[in-house]
Structure 1
């Protein structure tokens, strides 16, 4: 069982975190306009999953802004920002912040996403939300990079993603 920390407190994650060389399970999430989005829509491209608890926290918002800046520099790549935030809140954030290179997705209807990727926090103050993680999937659907950020209050390793996909 994987884990992370929130302000130094260990937080257990439900399920097994997806591993490098696994084929990424397809998922069904919701876009800001309430339309469906499936991982299969990105077939043939590199996909960066920027997964986090909520856009209402400074670190989560910063990660989306940062991935928005680098997304245009990554060839044949789609960046998906995934949280349990409602699509309305995600849309408001993306409009206000000028986020146009990242697709914000909500898993509020799809509990299987958190379970299949092993990222549902099952204890601690943020239980029920997604842990902060980055998963990179190649055009064939195979996982080529994973990171569970060891402390939720810190940002992911952007350079690892950039160096892998450039």
Structure 2
């Protein structure tokens, strides 16, 4: 029997208008939900592929927008201070080809871009899928080495930046 995905009407806004997020609201302390996305080489990637690492996972609508581009560049720069056991993942609905092109043009080397375009598995597992636009809402999650969520930020207005300092502090705390 198929289950119906949780819908959270008005959970965030986009350009000032309330939108519906599909999927549960992730909470600090829970086990990070599994997901399958595609990397820029068209290979499937799951949460388990990053087991044993601290993860900073950024959910963004599209790398080809100003805020998403700036966010990914900022996390790429901040990742230079992270140890080798930290992985920064940026997940969007962009096609893998566009992600690869964008990373090459921007010189992104410390962020792994992943595409949720096929199944929206990440978006529905982490409650970031915007029903009205089939894009991902802006959110940041930190997952510790044991797979537990230690930090969550659903940015209330999708067109605004996340709290970079709080996310980086959460990563630093998780690596201790």
Among residues 21, 35, 44, which one is paired with 2:43 in the alignment? 35
The aligned runs of 1:138-157 (5 Å cut-off) are 138-157=144-163
1:130 Cα deviation (Å)? 0.6
| 71-80 or 57-66: bigger deviation | 71-80
Q: Which runs of 4+ in 1 moved over 2 A?
A: none
SS in 1 for 2:75: helix
TM-score (norm 1): 0.94
Cα separation, 2, equivalents of 1:160 and 1:74: 14
Root-mean-square deviation (CA, aligned residues, Å) is: 1.2
1:130 maps onto 2:139 in alignment: no
Gaps of 5+ in 1: none
1:8 Cα deviation (Å)? 1.4
TM-score (norm 2): 0.89
The aligned runs of 1:1-20 (5 Å cut-off) are 1=8, 3-20=11-28
1:112 maps onto 2:121 in alignment: yes
8 A contact 2:55–2:171 mirrored in 1 = no
Among residues 39, 47, 54, which one is paired with 2:55 in the alignment? 47
Q: How many pairs were matched up?
A: 163
Cα separation, 1, equivalents of 2:121 and 2:49: 18
Cα separation, 2, equivalents of 1:160 and 1:84: 25
